[in-house]
Chain A
Amino acid sequence: MIELKNISKSFGDRKILDNISGTFVKGKPNLIIGASGTGKSVLLKCIVEIVEPDEGSVLYDHRNFTEGDKNLKIEIRREIGMLFQGGALFDSKTVEENVKFPLDLLAKMPRDEKYDRVNLCLNRVGLQNANKKMPSELSGGMKKRVGIARAIVNNPKYLFCDEPNSGLDPQTSIRIDELIRDITYDYGTTTVVVTHDMNSVMGIGENIMFLYKGLKLWEGNKDEIVRSGVQELDDFVFANKVMMAMREK
């Protein structure tokens, strides 16, 4: 479980996040949704502390990450897997080396075991024959899947995904969503996904947080989202023609 307590963040005079609190539950996909520029990615970066929040704290299973000492931060960070928007694969390494990278640096296990684990993760994401390919040879969807394989190779307790569907076709988007959902249920990870894709919301949105101009306006699940009664959320949800058609029916 991850708890956010009064997270605020400004860049210069511009307030990006304003007093955000909430809880991300274990074993379910948790979604942070909102239009572009509402602070979703900044919130995610504050949670993993790539960006330091100005105020508030983040608790990982009751351990205060924000105010913890250096050793606690390293300990928690080594329990985190993260999928970045562009994949963030290391250009100079092959797919196999990219996925093996966290094991090389963070895990103490025999060499053969590392390769078995890498192959297992690549199989999990459906890339069993891509071991020797370079990131430049991969499509956008494949990069995302390699990113997921790298994120889960170390058996993370917490999985973060920043816009996993951006730039992908609808079919690949659904496959990525299903993969994230299956990994979350199978391994019992606390998964947090940042997205503005309504297909993802309706597909895997078990616990959803809606951000609007840096404020948390609503929290619920995919069944409740269509009758939230929050105007800003309705504007966001029903901007999609398919959702609009569903409402009219």
Chain B
Amino acid sequence: MKDFGKYFIFLGNLFVNRESFRTYYRLTVEECVLIGINSIMLFALVSTFMGAVTTVQTAFNLVAPYIPKYVISQVVREMAVLELAPTIMAIIYAGKVGSSMAGNLGTMRITEQVDALEVMGINSISYLVFPKVLASLLMYPLLVILSIVCALAGGYIVAFFASYITPTDYIYGLRYAFNPFTITFALTKSVVFAFLVSTISSFKGYYTEGGALEVGQSSTQAVTTSVIAILIADYLLAQLMLAS
């Protein structure tokens, strides 16, 4: 409970005693490169394989002859848009970006770099964390869109090279009974998860105490706590936005 309160005070400190717009712009661009551009390959690779595997497994389960083949790609689409791209990738995002954020801030803390900022009269939370949160909010939704595209492309590659479904049926299934609200839902989730991962990881890193061992522990805690928060938020958002 104490940590919960400390987390909200930490969030409040993001918005006080801020530096100039130019400072944040430069730092946010740097963070966007670290968070976004450097994650493209991982996201593309994982998503493509997830799309391909989902196609194969769905085809394996849909054995009844009266079920049309295009249902396979319809299932892949719904899986990718609703869960695989925003949620499963958020867990990978927490592992890659969240642990890096916590490790970076934890190292800065134990080597007194955070104290150096504070002594200069700079709000270290706002200076160090705000650009990370902003960059995360900007980049993670884009990574989710990339992930959806790659997952659907992965399924298409399977359709093209294997005999489960023809490419024509696959494309037809992708377009069949498409509800655009699912994209709104996926992007809403991506914004919420980006916020949770960046703030929780930064919080864990910022309050690291001790030495190198504790920096490692902070990174682990950042990932664990972020994943739990993602799963809880995933359920709450589904309940709020999809339950009729």
When A105-B19, A105-B23 are in contact, do A78 and B121 touch as well, CB less than 8 Å? yes
When A86-B111, A88-B111 are in contact, do A50 and B118 touch as well, CB less than 8 Å? yes
| Interchain nearest-CB distance for A111 vs B (Å) | 13
When A50-B119, A77-B120, A105-B120 are in contact, do A88 and B112 touch as well, CB less than 8 Å? yes
What is the CA–CA distance of A89 and B108 in the complex, to the nearest angstrom? 9
- 22 pairs of residues in contact across A and B, judged by CB atoms under 8 Å: A45-B115, A48-B119, A50-B115, A50-B119, A75-B121, A77-B119, A77-B120, A77-B121, A80-B119, A80-B120, A80-B121, A82-B119, A84-B112, A85-B112, A86-B111, A86-B112, A88-B111, A88-B115, A90-B113, A102-B120, A105-B19, A105-B122
A contact residues around B162 at 8 Å (CB):
none
What is the CA–CA distance of A106 and B23 in the complex, to the nearest angstrom? 11
With most chain A CB atoms within 10 A of its CB, the pick from B17, B23, B108, B120 is B120
Q: Chain B residues in contact with chain A, CB under 8 A?
A: 17, 19, 23, 107-108, 111-113, 115-116, 118-122
B contact residues around A74 at 8 Å (CB):
17, 121
Tier of interface size on chain A: 20 to 34
Residue of B nearest to A102 (CB): B120
- Interface residues of A: mostly helix, strand, loop or mixed? mixed
What is the CA–CA distance of A91 and B116 in the complex, to the nearest angstrom? 13
What is the CA–CA distance of A63 and B118 in the complex, to the nearest angstrom? 19
| Interchain nearest-CB distance for A92 vs B (Å) | 9
Q: Once the chains bind, are A106 and B120 in contact (CB under 8 Å)?
A: yes
With most chain A CB atoms within 10 A of its CB, the pick from B19, B115, B116, B118 is B116
B contact residues around A78 at 8 Å (CB):
120-121
What is the CA–CA distance of A82 and B107 in the complex, to the nearest angstrom? 19
| Interchain nearest-CB distance for A90 vs B (Å) | 6
Residue of A nearest to B26 (CB): A104
Q: Chain A residues in contact with chain B, CB under 8 A?
A: 45, 48, 50, 70, 73-75, 77-78, 80, 82, 84-86, 88-91, 102, 104-106, 160
| Interchain nearest-CB distance for B44 vs A (Å) | 27
What is the CA–CA distance of A82 and B112 in the complex, to the nearest angstrom? 11
With most chain A CB atoms within 10 A of its CB, the pick from B17, B108, B111 is B111
What is the CA–CA distance of A74 and B120 in the complex, to the nearest angstrom? 8
What is the CA–CA distance of A80 and B23 in the complex, to the nearest angstrom? 21
B contact residues around A89 at 8 Å (CB):
113
User: In the complex, given contacts A84-B115, A91-B113, what are 17 additional A-B residue pairs having Cβ atoms less than 8 angstroms apart?
Assistant: A45-B115, A48-B119, A74-B17, A74-B121, A77-B120, A77-B121, A78-B121, A80-B119, A82-B116, A86-B111, A88-B111, A89-B113, A90-B108, A90-B113, A91-B107, A91-B111, A102-B120
A contact residues around B23 at 8 Å (CB):
104-105
| Interchain nearest-CB distance for A169 vs B (Å) | 22
What is the CA–CA distance of A80 and B122 in the complex, to the nearest angstrom? 12
A contact residues around B113 at 8 Å (CB):
88-91
